[in-house]
Amino acid sequence: MSGVAPQKYLPYEYCRDIQEIIAGIDNTISGDTVLVAGGAGFLGSWMCETLLRLNANVICLDNLVSGKIENIQHHLNYPNFTFLQHDITDPISLHAPIKHIFHFASRAGPLEFKKHPIEILRSNTLGTLNLLDLARKHNATMLFTSTSEIYGDAKEIPTPETYYGHVNPVGPRSCYDEGKRCGEAMCMAYAVQYDVDVRIARIFNTYGPRIRADGIYGRVIPRFITQALLGESITVFGDGSQTRSFCYLNDMLIGLFRLATASDLRGEVVNLGGGTEITILDLATAIITMTKSDSYIQFLPLPEDDPKRRRPDIQKAQKLLRWEPKVGLARGLERTIHYFQQDHDEQN
Ligand SMILES: NC(=O)c1ccc[n+]([C@@H]2O[C@H](COP(=O)([O-])OP(=O)(O)OC[C@H]3O[C@@H](n4cnc5c(N)ncnc54)[C@H](O)[C@@H]3O)[C@@H](O)[C@H]2O)c1
């Protein structure tokens, strides 16, 4: 596509990411109008990028509370791209005939659970309701980005979609866990009562360029990388034996796109995430090595309700979407470190 020129915000390395995403997609969407709510955030901005490369008309709607205009700056003058600064908790009315809605619009960092719990609940409940009304009006498909957090501290590992969850409804993470659970319930209610074509992606920890680093209690990969690049201590909670399974953004974008656009997936709920489990201590050590940092590891108390293990069962995604992650942790970390390295170099 000629209109989206690679420049400051889309250097060569990230074009390579987009090329890999496009190569993993075989569904055509050319000429369709697609709404990306939360499109200026980490995953949303990559989805806008992907859809533009596939010649869709993209409406990006975002209130910029955790997203950045820089993530979509390079599309602003492109005729197939419209940016609307809007909060999804306010009613949404659009005239263009929308074919697909991607709902990414929610703060999602652990630091934000403490600072903005009401906003998080409102985005995933009231905001989801507004987007479902829009989907109903336009007869559009609606992809809701749910989370592995709805499983809480899961007792079944790897965790399949049939696991009901082990969640503290009044704990410090409940605004996010319960907000997403309610969002899922709303999607299913609109499917049952109004026959809206909803699909739910339960996303497990995903990382890559443009993910935000939110300080000490932020998401673990950007936090470790920034701490390592700054030579600060790497803050590991507990003894670091808790595990996570990480997925690089290219794989996630392909899975999300397939789930949203395939013709026969009405009402499906699908786990998307990395299949390999790693302890947080091993992750810290790997990042120190890869960044050649002098940082040492500092152990801090484990936050309340921190899940001990997290690993998705992805058999359903393998079967329904012919999907499984392809980018290993070493390659994904290398690209993400490079992204943060550039930011770090620009500031020094
Ligand atoms: N990245 C992950 O590992 C992960 C894991 C599980 C689920 N998810 C879900 O995927 C979605 C995107 O996550 P992300 O990592 O890109 O986060 P992000 O914070 O980078 O993006 C969220 C975007 O939504 C916007 N937003 C928030 N509230 C809004 C509102 N009320 N109205 C309009 N825009 C609003 C923000 O400004 C931001 O641009 C979120 O819903 C998140 O819960 C992400």
Long-range contacts of 223-226 (CB under 8 A, 24+ apart): 224/283, 224/284, 224/287, 225/287, 225/291, 225/333, 225/336, 225/337, 225/340, 226/340, 226/344
- Single-letter code of the amino acid located at 236: V
Residue 21 predicted with pLDDT over 70: yes
* Residue 24: band (very low, low, confident or very high) from pLDDT cuts 50, 70, 90: very high
**What is the pTM (predicted TM-score) of this model?**
0.95
Q: d(Cα 348, Cα 327) in Å, to the nearest integer? A: 31
Going along the chain from its start, the domains and CATH numbers come out as 12-207+248-274+311-326 (3.40.50.720)
For ligand 1, whether the C-beta of 227 sits within 6 Å is: no
Each residue of 86-140: pLDDT tens digit? Answer: 999 999 999 999 999 999 999 998 889 999 999 999 999 999 999 999 999 999 9
From the candidates 176, 217, 248, 339, give the one annotated as an active-site residue: 176
pLDDT given at position 5: 39
Task: Give the lowest-confidence range in 51-55, 82-86, 285-289, 343-347.
Answer: 343-347
* Residue 15: band (very low, low, confident or very high) from pLDDT cuts 50, 70, 90: confident
For ligand 1, whether the C-beta of 202 sits within 6 Å is: no
Active site residue 176: yes
Each residue of 157-181: pLDDT tens digit? Answer: 999 999 999 999 999 999 999 999 9
Residue 307 predicted with pLDDT over 70: yes
